[in-house]
A and B are shown apart, each in its own frame.
Chain A
């Protein structure tokens, strides 16, 4: 679900910017920020669905402890988006349920 962004980054002018793709949508964001910060400030309000109940989830701790911010990055599943910095050309998708073990082979 994409809604009004929960956060904004007002001081982004003057920064080096990079472009990442979230589920096909290009997001231009300040270099150096985490993937989680990039998504939260661009209207992505849920990052994954829970493994048991398929309920929407989003970052809770922002420091690598809660694992609620998991996404697929460049086809690698279950990445902690709060610990990974944005890189130009990065491809990000929601992590739906448990990660598939053979995801690389499928693609």
Chain B
């Protein structure tokens, strides 16, 4: 098998990856970008190159901002491979990926993990029923296919993406049956302590307030401070039941869209054995890196939301910073310190709002750590919260052991949709912090590979 070599191999074509590629190309580096999706954009700018004008108008200015980045990427001279599924990464920069039914290998002098974020698991009763999706998933359908809900739709949870989707649906003329908000009433008070940062990031704050005002005026039924969620239905979602101010409410719906923020997609960084830290603010794992995103002594960097949740614009700047730093390592960049300093100032502008958002939209314990024993946690192997707590009573100490107890985390998603929940359930049951409970040991192949794909 011939092994290609590139100065920089980038995994993921969202804002981080595209911006890093543009910067690296401006330094004269050879760049190969691998991406699972057919076209560039990642999830935030999904479909950016083909979205019609009406669709772009519905999605809004922040989405449309991706066009310029995608256009710059296309003329940058970077090689883009769409439909390329990375299944292995080694610390020496070797990447194995499947494209067109064949496995290929490329070695990067440096590799940038730019795999972005995924929606945080929202384990509640009935969340495995057809008709229950992440709000981000529904937004991807809108961005990539112009697909909109046809029947009764309920949005439930909290976080900027949920409000944004509601606003986009409103603009598309879709009636939202109910908006079931889980933002804790006391979180508003706690968040005011971070108002200084939010005011420095006033543009983001104003945008958020405008969004909420528009939604309030849209006339959708709005329930705040809700709890005890249960998706009801026989074989498919038929409604969402919850408690609201001491009353039981049931909203009929064929589509229930759940969301409680996004977390870094850390599958690749775990798979190379990188150390990760538990973020008590964002309630997720983040790879341990130096200030530029480098993982230990490896030739591997991570930037954007796959390092820690920072949002699209900050991710793009981090991508550029990382590319400059790699250029410095390769000895090709001139006046690099000045360029790094400029970008770092710009980056700080986009991070002011973050602690305010983290506090305001911190997902409540009951939506991360199911109290009911019958709630499915591992969707693939159908392991419940109660079963995991039983494992702990039998002496199970951490996520890896749950595999031996009941195949938890051993299905095709390889723990992506149960890992955080399992760590926190065990943490809660044992009275030990998540940092000491740890996570699954993630091993390659991180995506399923067919034997025929490995054959020459």
Contact = CB atoms under 8 A, between A and B. Distances in A.
A9 B118 contact: no
Interface string A12-40: 10000000000000000010111001001
B381 interface: yes
Given A3-B236, A8-B147, A76-B450, A67 B133 contact: no
Q: Which of A37, A53, A66, A76 has the most CB of B within 10 A?
A: A66
Contacts of B413: 65-67
Contacts of B65: none
B400 interface: no
Contacts of B318: none
A64 interface: yes
B7 interface: no
Contact of A33 (B145, B151, B254, B379): B145
Contact of A63 (B50, B52, B54, B137): B137
B148 A60 contact: no
A53 B417 CA distance: 18
Q: Which of A6, A30, A33, A55 has the most CB of B within 10 A?
A: A6
B236 A45 contact: yes
Q: Which of B130, B146, B381 has the most CB of A within 10 A?
A: B130
Contact of A8 (B50, B133, B148, B379): B148
A66 B379 contact: yes
A65 B380 contact: no
Nearest to A43: B150
Contacts of A83: 36-37, 83, 85
A50 B411 CA distance: 11
Contacts of A3: 236
B214 interface: no
A51 B132 contact: no
Contact of A4 (B37, B146, B150, B416): B150
Contacts, number: 131
B236 A1 contact: yes
B149 interface: yes
A78 interface: yes
B172 to A, nearest CB: 9
Contacts of A53: 382
Interface residues of B, number: 48
Given A1-B236, A8-B150, A61-B137, A51 B380 contact: yes
B145 A6 contact: no
Interface in B401-456: 411-413, 416-417, 448, 450
A61 B50 CA distance: 21
Interface in B99-144: 118-119, 128-134, 136-138, 140-141, 144
Q: Which of B132, B150, B235, B417 has the most CB of A within 10 A?
A: B150
Instruction: Say what secondary structure dominates the interface of chain A.
Output: loop
A67 B411 contact: yes
A72 interface: no
A51 B235 CA distance: 16
A49 B254 CA distance: 19
Contacts of B235: 1, 46, 56
A46 B254 contact: no
Contact of B130 (A11, A46, A70, A78): A46
Interface of B: 36-38, 43, 50, 52, 54-55, 83, 85, 118-119, 128-134, 136-138, 140-141, 144-151, 235-236, 254-255, 265, 379-382, 411-413, 416-417, 448, 450
25 contacts: A4-B150, A4-B151, A8-B147, A9-B145, A9-B148, A11-B54, A37-B145, A45-B236, A46-B236, A51-B381, A52-B381, A55-B382, A56-B130, A57-B128, A60-B132, A61-B133, A61-B136, A62-B133, A62-B138, A63-B136, A65-B265, A66-B379, A82-B140, A83-B36, A83-B83
| 5 smallest beta-carbon distances between A and B, as pairs | A58-B130, A62-B137, A37-B145, A67-B412, A7-B147
